[in-house]
Amino acid sequence: MYFFNIVSIHSIELPKEKKGSYVWPIVGADAITGTFGEYRSSHFHMGMDFSTNGRRGLPVVSVSKGKIVQVQRYWNSIGNAVIVLNDDGIYTRYGHLSRFNKELDKHLRSSTISALYKKRKDFTYNLSTPIDVQAGETIAFSGDTGIGPPHLHLELYKDGIYYNPKDFGLGHEEGEEVVLESITLKPETSRTFINGKNEDLSIKLIKADGGYVLDPIVETILLQGIVSIQVSGYQKSKSSRLGLQSISLLLNQRKILDLSFLSLPKTDTKKFVLVYDSFKSKSNGQPFLYNLFSRDSYGSNQLSRIVSGNGMISSGSLDKDKPNLVSILANGLGGNQSDLIFPILKDAGDYSHIKTLDMSFNVKFNQYTNLSSDDHKIELFFPTNAIFTRGNFQIDEITNHNWEFPGLHLESKIFKISPENFREFNLGYDIYVKLSQKSDMSKAGLYEIKPDGRAIAVKKASYSNWGRFFKARLKKTGTFAVLSDLTAPSLSLVNDYKNGHIFSNSNFEIEWKMKDLGSGFDQNSILIKIDGEIATAEINPHTGSAIVVEPERVFEPGKHRMEATAIDRAGNMSESIIFEYTVAGGKLASTNNEIDKNLTASRPISSKQEKVKKQ
């Protein structure tokens, strides 16, 4: 039997709080674009995303009375962030901010991390004297620092546990439709047969009165053995797809699995692969594919705060004389629910004549494994706990391709690590790429080759001169090669400003756009001088944007000469560009200006940038 007594996850105690009392955190926008527990390519989404209508500079307000206790900046994740300790004991983190309010900005500029702050370097700073804030008080302004397009990311946590903001009054009271797209039945043993076949059965779902039904092309479902079920679904939210809040799986009206995103320990954020099919799920919800079964049998600790029950269905437990009803109940924000009910019949057929392949795996969570290519040029080392589950990996050389890699030079064989899109990694694995030729590797790096031939530099890959190999710790599979970047990046001014441009006042923004074919950019990839003085830019290495923010001389009335040069990770430099301009006059612009005095504060972002995938 595969039924278990269900311990309701809804019995988990939330911290003491006034449910529904938190203030909406963004002024001027009212849409939610990402929910707690959603799929991301490397983790659970541990907070809630709020739309800023594609704009930077909307006021971000404290959701509750409390104190600002910490400020962070991490360009490759949360960007600029403020942490408030609410009076109820819950910490709130507000991320991807463009700037802070006047009081906090003044505090940071005179603090022990003032140099890091002014130069836009990463830091975590604990305020020695916390700043009191009231519910609804502006603490910062929205932006697109860190990863992703303009939006506000908000997290609630206490004692290492992250909580769903919807349970604190920050979800839509009236959510839009919950959509169910498809289900997949998966054989869990080599001798499981679904409609007489030992293979997955995927079925589209059709909306009908009172819920969803199976596509009529599938007349019946016959089962012999043990199956697991996946469901693809989401909740509509204007132009976004939101993750579901809870899903229940029932067999003959008996609950066999509960999945509900109430809270998550920080230590479980990487275990998203136990809830989502990481091979097919996408951060934009096309699709969100949920596993409606426990994966404890693979040795992973169960996510007891969000998952209870086993979810497996065995033909041995089915009624042989009548259809067995399987129900899926899916819930979204605002109490919206959709459901699916379909029958499964016990199959008493004889399949002894059908040969099936045993399920084999060469890498498991509880063992160390070493794999090599036939020529031993590529080696993979999987430590214990490299993956959460199990997998069958292999290395193949790619010889039949038409990739050209413009601006790059191929230094190694092109090789593919399978299975494709495997992401069920815990610690990950080490890859070694050995090189035989004695060419200069000073501008070389390890690259991932996308199906369309784009080459993306692997971060933190290192080169050993004595061993003549590249090494990296990976948490993905795919196609890789060593390439040299010999091409200089390009640099241009956004808005096509020309020399001699006149700004009518000090409320303007100078943004540079960097482009590179190979190694890409980091936080030190642009050198800017203003009237001979080193300037600082707010750099987004993912988009190539660099917005000049320091020193104040940039915005002072008078004539100015700005010189900029882009530098990629390989050390290639662009041509230097000179931009001469005049500021006609007006109040000195600074990052402290109030929203109504800063004409660029709610600057719209291009629709292309706004559609960057959720992070």
Run of H or E residues at 116: helix 114-118
Strands (E), 18-100: 32-34, 48-51, 59-61, 66-74, 79-86, 91-100
71/112 Cα distance (integer angstroms): 13
427/517 Cα distance (integer angstroms): 30
Strands (E), 90-173: 91-100, 123-133, 138-142, 151-158, 161-163
Pick the closest to residue 516 from 443, 570, 568, 444 (CA basis). Answer: 568
Note the pLDDT tens digit of each residue in 279-319: 899 999 999 999 999 876 554 456 888 999 999 999 999 99
310/6 Cα distance (integer angstroms): 9
Q: Check residue 17 and give its pLDDT.
A: 45
Residues 6+ apart with CB under 8 A from 529: 535, 562, 563, 564
Specify the length of the chain in residues: 615
18/135 Cα distance (integer angstroms): 13
Amino acid at 98: S
DSSP 323: P
3-state helix, strand, coil in the chain (%, to 5): 10, 45, 50
275/43 Cα distance (integer angstroms): 11
Determine how many CB atoms are found less than 10 A away from the CB of residue 376: 9
What tokens appear for 502 in the block?
Answer: 């006149």
Run of H or E residues at 534: strand 533-534
Pick the closest to residue 73 from 608, 551, 572, 549 (CA basis). Answer: 549
Q: Check residue 377 and give its pLDDT.
A: 94
Q: What long-range pairs does 451-457 form, CB within 8 A, spacing at least 24?
A: 453/401, 453/402, 453/403, 453/404, 453/405, 455/405, 455/408, 455/481, 455/483, 455/518, 456/520, 457/485, 457/518, 457/519, 457/520, 457/569
Residues 6+ apart with CB under 8 A from 530: 548, 551, 553, 554, 560, 561, 562
Residues 6+ apart with CB under 8 A from 325: 250, 251, 252, 253, 341, 342, 343, 344
91/63 Cα distance (integer angstroms): 11
Q: Which residues of the chain have pLDDT under 70?
A: 1-20, 296-302, 586-615
Q: Check residue 359 and give its pLDDT.
A: 81
261/264 Cα distance (integer angstroms): 8
Pick the closest to residue 389 from 302, 287, 274 (CA basis). Answer: 274
Q: Check residue 302 and give its pLDDT.
A: 64
What tokens appear for 541 in the block?
Answer: 């290495």
Pick the closest to residue 39 from 298, 271, 356, 379 (CA basis). Answer: 271
Strand-pairing partners, residue 235, are 178, 242
Q: Check residue 172 and give its pLDDT.
A: 81
Pick the closest to residue 428 from 393, 467, 468, 398 (CA basis). Answer: 393
Report helix, strand or coil for 266.
Answer: helix
Are the CB atoms for 350 and 52 separated by under 8 Å?
Answer: no
> Which residue reads 């955190």 in tokens?
25
Per DSSP bridges, beta strands 240-242 and 324-331 are unpaired
> Which residue reads 């990839």 in tokens?
525
Strand-pairing partners, residue 258, are 248, 308
Instruction: Quote the pTM value.
Output: 0.84
Pick the closest to residue 405 from 242, 246, 567, 518 (CA basis). Answer: 518
List the domains of the chain with CATH numbers.
32-168 (2.70.70.10), 178-346 (no CATH), 363-485 (2.60.220.30), 490-610 (2.60.40.3780)
Note the pLDDT tens digit of each residue in 81-135: 999 999 999 999 999 999 999 999 999 999 999 999 988 889 999 999 999 999 9
Strand-pairing partners, residue 536, are 550
Q: What angle do CA 383, 389, 394 make, to 5 degrees?
A: 65
Q: Check residue 171 and give its pLDDT.
A: 86
